[in-house]
Amino acid sequence: MTTESRRRFTRRAGAVVAALAVGATAPTLSAVPAAAGVGFKKADTGASITAYRWLNKGKTAFDFTVKSPSLGSSQNVRVLLPKGWKHNSTQSWPVVYAYHGGNDDWTSWTRKKSTDIEALSRKWGVMVVMPEGANGSYTNFWNGGKGGTPRWEDFHLQEVRQLVERNYHAGGARATMGVSSGAQGACGYPGRVPGMFRYAACFSGVLSMSSPGIPSLLMYTNSGNGNDPYSIWGLPWVDKANWDAHDPIKLLPRAKGTRFYVASGTTGQRGPLDPAGIAPWDIGYLSERAIGPTVEQFAKRAKELGIPITAHIYGNGRHSWPYWKREMHTAWPSMMKTIGARPVA
């Protein structure tokens, strides 16, 4: 494809809708400013923990830094610990891997304006792991068929998973949860690695990548977040096999061991949790109008395949945290039951 053809494609894609980002500008990624301990076990790729820091006096949450061969860089991960956790414990805990949306970072879920996941998770015997996803679209980049870095899927499913299991007592009873592009990852990963996740909760994510207008939408979105959009999955009409291999709806037959919860708005209109004064053409409304039908299609296909799924298609509402926080609370009890996490005093 010529440079001019690519420019024309991007301009056409821009007419579909602007972006699937969370909507807030991400803070600058900062290094974890504490010296790492001695004796941490590495992942199979050689990924290693190079630093960590506690986030509170009670030592119930911490960040750690991973030197990642899969990414060719160092990235951060946030962990919320269950009550009773000890570094020298022989016990392991069920774990929820929570993925953030575009233009955000690993701190996303724990901001006060986002969710109350810290307070909620402390009521259960569960660990929560929130890795950096940058704007990597939760995939190993295609890079014209050559592969190479960044390999975000390998970072999440192999490196981060192995590091928290080998060093911090994360167990094999796993759930995944995500918002926006993180929801696309959360609902795609169970099909990419069958049997890894027992539960997937996906809020406002593109769950059918080949639906009309969606390839253009994704290409346009990724042209504005610092990536070369052609490097992620390739060209949708040329590298269709690679797109299909990462499309959550087409991965469903491989995810029959996973229980799903999906939610999204559909109308692109003002909802009950939206503040006053937001314009009808706000990107948060346009995003839900584009995303909603893909969530409906995903839920329909899961039911056809006999895969257990709960779908909350709530119509009006913006692509934003107030709705995702609500859906997290709705999905949480079922998620905990599925991974065997119990309430704690």
Which residue is associated with the tokens 């997937």?
200
Over the chain, what is the mean pLDDT? 90
Q: In what order do the strands lie in the sheet with 309-315?
A: 48-54, 61-68, 73-80, 127-131, 93-99, 170-179, 199-203, 259-265, 309-315
Structure tokens at 149: 């870095």
Q: Is 84 exposed, middle or buried (0-12, 13-18, 19+ CB in 10 A)?
A: exposed
Which among 6, 25, 135, 7 has a CA at the least distance from the CA of 71?
A: 135
Q: Is the pLDDT of residue 251 over 90?
A: yes
Residue 345 lies in a domain: no
Span 198-225, average pLDDT: 93
Q: What is the pLDDT of residues 25-71, one digit of tens each?
A: 333 333 434 444 468 999 999 999 999 999 999 999 999 999 999 99
Q: Is the pLDDT of residue 315 over 70?
A: yes
Query: For residue 252, what pLDDT is reported?
Result: 98
Residue 344 lies in a domain: no
Span 280-303, average pLDDT: 96
| pTM check: above 0.85 | yes
For residue 162, which amino acid is it? Q
Q: Is 126 exposed, middle or buried (0-12, 13-18, 19+ CB in 10 A)?
A: buried
C-beta of residue 132 within 8 angstroms of C-beta of residue 181:
no
Query: For residue 39, what pLDDT is reported?
Result: 85
Query: For residue 17, what pLDDT is reported?
Result: 36
Q: Is the pLDDT of residue 272 over 50?
A: yes
Query: For residue 226, what pLDDT is reported?
Result: 75
**φ/ψ of residue 153, rounded to 5:** -60, -45
Which among 79, 82, 69 has a CA at the least distance from the CA of 107?
A: 79
Residue 267 lies in a domain: yes
Span 77-94, average pLDDT: 95
Question: What residues contact 341, with CB distance under 8 A and at least 6 apart?
Answer: 93, 94, 124, 125, 126, 173
Q: Is the pLDDT of residue 197 over 60?
A: yes
Question: What residues contact 53, with CB distance under 8 A and at least 6 apart?
Answer: 32, 33, 34, 62, 63, 64
CATH number at residue 111: 3.40.50.1820
Q: Which domain holds residue 264?
A: 3-339
Query: In degrees, to the nearest 5, what angle opens at C-alpha 244 toward C-alphas 239 and 250?
Result: 170
Question: What residues contact 67, with CB distance under 8 A and at least 6 apart?
Answer: 47, 48, 50, 74
The fraction of the chain above a pLDDT of 70, given in percent, is 89
263 three-state secondary structure = strand
Residue 55 lies in a domain: yes
Residue 101 lies in a domain: yes
Q: Is the pLDDT of residue 196 over 80?
A: yes
Residue 177 lies in a domain: yes
Span 287-314, average pLDDT: 97
Query: For residue 38, what pLDDT is reported?
Result: 61
Span 154-160, average pLDDT: 98
Residue bearing the bigger pLDDT, 10 or 237: 237
How many other C-beta atoms are found inside a 10 Å radius of the C-beta of residue 249? 24
Query: For residue 13, what pLDDT is reported?
Result: 38
Residue 304 lies in a domain: yes
Span 205-222, average pLDDT: 93
Chain centre distance of CA 131: 9
Which among 171, 173, 169 has a CA at the least distance from the CA of 199?
A: 173
Beta bridge partners of 128: 80, 96
Which among 6, 179, 26, 5 has a CA at the least distance from the CA of 99?
A: 179
CA distances (Å), 53 to each of 36, 49, 71, 99, in order?
8, 12, 22, 20
Split at pLDDT 50, 70, 90, the class of 5 is very low
Split at pLDDT 50, 70, 90, the class of 21 is very low
Residue 32 lies in a domain: yes
C-beta of residue 179 within 8 angstroms of C-beta of residue 102:
no
Q: What is the pLDDT of residues 95-154, one digit of tens each?
A: 999 999 998 999 999 999 999 999 999 999 999 999 999 999 999 999 999 999 999 999
Domain count for the chain, please give it. Answer: 1
C-beta of residue 299 within 8 angstroms of C-beta of residue 259:
no
